[in-house]
A = this chain, B = another copy of it.
């Protein structure tokens, strides 16, 4: 395959030298089950704060950042450096859903709660508490060059290659491309996933519509369709573990396929970790690890060097790698995470506490209902925490139990709760997904609405039985 960038190979050496972020990411992705790592030289240097003199060029930016951060927004919003302009011409509060007013202090009356998107805002308080460790100053001349930005991979421990990407979204199609037959072979790979699955697998494959692969539906449909066929077929199976939307840990089900293990949620704040994952092709994202969804940073661990090269070539052609600004920020985020692993400021312990509390509260309300139910997740032993842990899924996978409630998301929408219908996951509309990883405000309002919904059901049942 030809490349538009004949210099790529020559950049290899430089990239090999640049390894802190790569190694940290890999460590997190792959080895977080072990004891806390020894602090790296960079970490201890950062803790010491560098030189102690007065600031010069960075002072203005530091003051601006602290100035906007100081705005309270009543605890229901925040001010951003690049945010909306308030009534006084200065950056203004951006309020959480269902809050309004210049300082976000007003509850929007009769507001519809949004529990739709997988926006990982539950970790925002963690980063506010670790402001000093995670802040980073980007100078105007920081790494302007393409060099070292183009996501070249390197050999690492366990004989895996790592490839950076613009979020795990970019990796979906990049990995399918890399695992598909060569364009000269004339054959077409079938891409499948097990219901209920993350819809972007399907929508990406359909949208990009490559001649080398096609969307072949969910695994059971595919098995039925190909059952009597004797043709040897290339199959690429997406295996989301734990699964979005229902949090089940999955293994590949199609024998002999190329499996892509989507480990976006394979972190101790969402699931027990039975053992380190060691599959041939795995993808990860900071969105669900540190909560930095908007940074668009993902990575793949790939055993086969040829596959990794194809992924890398795809990323180069698609976006010339991933933003170096983001890589700098992620380095400070990862360093802060690593410095606190297994300590009292462990991000996973923080996240697990938040998510367990949400699941417990939601479960207590829904258990009173016979109209809706949640998936059942037993407590399980987790190798990271070295104990039995309470469930803490990212999403509630809600089933509407009444025959007439065949459109469950519509049922909840009438109760002023926006959820994501199971139809998106190629599942029945009797199911719908409630996001639990949004902000505490979002959850508190959700719990209010769900409580109203269940109370109304019980009141109605009570009057019926009278």
Contacts and interface: CB of A to CB of B under 8 A. Distances in A.
Given A89-B41, A210-B210, A319-B296, A63 B52 contact: yes
A166 interface: yes
B58 A135 contact: yes
A216 to B, nearest CB: 16
Interface string A193-211: 0000001101110111111
A203 B317 contact: yes
Which of the listed residues A69, A141, A204, A209 has the most CB atoms from chain B within 10 Å of its own CB?
Answer: A141
A117 B146 contact: yes
Contacts of A85: 20, 41-42
A209 B183 CA distance: 8
B64 A137 contact: yes
Given A61-B62, A319-B319, A329-B325, A138 B135 contact: yes
Interface string A3-33: 1111100100010011011000000000000
A157 interface: no
Nearest to A150: B294
Nearest to A292: B144
B58 A70 contact: no
Contacts of A313: 207
B116 A6 contact: yes
A110 interface: no
Nearest to A316: B169
Interface stretch (A124-132, A225-233, A376-384): A124-132
A322 interface: yes
Interface in A128-155: 128, 130-149
Interface in A259-308: 287, 291-297
A127 B143 contact: no
Interface in A169-227: 169-170, 173, 177, 183, 199-200, 202-204, 206-212
Given A82-B328, A317-B207, A319-B170, A66 B70 contact: no
A169 B320 contact: yes
A264 to B, nearest CB: 12
A340 interface: no
A301 to B, nearest CB: 20
Given A56-B132, A146-B287, A297-B323, 13 more contacts: A18-B82, A61-B332, A64-B137, A65-B138, A124-B141, A127-B144, A131-B140, A148-B294, A166-B322, A296-B321, A296-B322, A319-B319, A323-B325
A-B pairs with lowest CB-CB distance, top 4: A134-B140, A50-B67, A127-B140, A294-B324
